[in-house]
Amino acid sequence: MKKGMFTLLIIVLMIAFVGCNSAQGTEGQGEESQQSQGKDTLVVGTSADFPPFESHEVVEGKDMIVGFDIDLLNEIAKELDVDIKIEDIDFNGLVAAVQTGKIDMAISGMTPKPDRLEKVDFSDSYFKASQALLVKKGIAKDIDSMDRLKGKIVASQLGTTSDDVISSFEGIEVKKYNRTNDAVLDLNNGRVEAVIIEDTIAKAYVDKNPGIEAVIPEDLNEEEEPFAIALPKGEKELLDKINGALKNIKDSGKYDELVEKWFE
């Protein structure tokens, strides 16, 4: 009797253990993380509101975060032989999350800039973009200069370079959003005149929202902005590995494949 109970207990424990493991697996992105055994896991933060770099999409009935950054990240993970766990964090909280060690790194179309460089290190750049505006369909032709937006409300994502850029124009009221999706929603609802966001992302939003279009006034951009991965300060070994992986991904042609998949 006693022995029987003991065996039963072991079986129950084993089932509970297996159950736990598979529950963890479904939280991770993609199959690799579910099949792996004993690999190190990098926890990576992203603000999944930035298509085609990172956004939520239902894939085979499951909510997934997909995009160029995510595919690039998975390629890096292959190179480094590690697993990835993705955390969706408001863009404005990503640098602090890296700095405090809540996440191991952030990939989120992030531009290295002086105030961020004081807090985190950046990988080599893997993309370049410039600022654009989203407006209601039909008005792009009228926005030939930023002056046209004086006295109007323009939406930006809190803590982004778009936010810096729009705030540098006098006379424009800036409304800041934690998530770009909400900014685009308010554009569709007529609560803001325009949304400032990088060109590649503007294009993705236009493709999904028939009522809006993109415009780039001549005086909007001073220069292109690089995108890079943010890492904790001083982690030279990880930084070198990531830069090595980025180089291999470019040299092997994989990078071009991803560009074609997501941008063409």
Of 11 and 163, CB closest to ligand ARG? 163
* CA neighbor of 169 nearest in space, from 153, 157, 183, 181: 153
* CA neighbor of 170 nearest in space, from 146, 203, 201: 146
**Pattern of binders to ligand ARG over 185-204, x per CB under 6 A?**
-------------x------
Provide, rounded to whole angstroms, the least separation between the CB of residue 122 and ligand ARG: 10
| Contacting range for ligand ARG; rule: CB under 6 A; set: 31-39, 70-78, 158-166, 206-214 | 158-166
Provide, rounded to whole angstroms, the least separation between the CB of residue 263 and ligand ARG: 16
Provide, rounded to whole angstroms, the least separation between the CB of residue 105 and ligand ARG: 14
* 55 contributes a contact to ligand ARG by CB under 6 A: no
* CA neighbor of 79 nearest in space, from 239, 241, 228, 231: 241
* 160 contributes a contact to ligand ARG by CB under 6 A: yes
Pairing state between β 41-46 and 105-110: parallel
Of 60 and 115, CB closest to ligand ARG? 115
Of 31 and 223, CB closest to ligand ARG? 223
User: If you count them, how many residues does the chain have?
Assistant: 264
Residues 80-119 that bind ligand ARG (CB under 6 A): 91, 108-111
Taking CB under 6 A as the criterion, the residue among 143, 161, 217, 229 binding ligand ARG is 161
Residues 201-260 that bind ligand ARG (CB under 6 A): 225
| Contacting range for ligand ARG; rule: CB under 6 A; set: 10-18, 73-81, 155-163, 210-218 | 155-163
Of 33 and 161, CB closest to ligand ARG? 161
Taking CB under 6 A as the criterion, the residue among 45, 51, 52, 54 binding ligand ARG is 54
* 180 contributes a contact to ligand ARG by CB under 6 A: yes
Of 108 and 123, CB closest to ligand ARG? 108
* 49 contributes a contact to ligand ARG by CB under 6 A: yes
Sites of contact with ligand ARG (CB under 6 A) = 47, 49-50, 54, 91, 108-111, 157, 160-162, 180, 198, 225
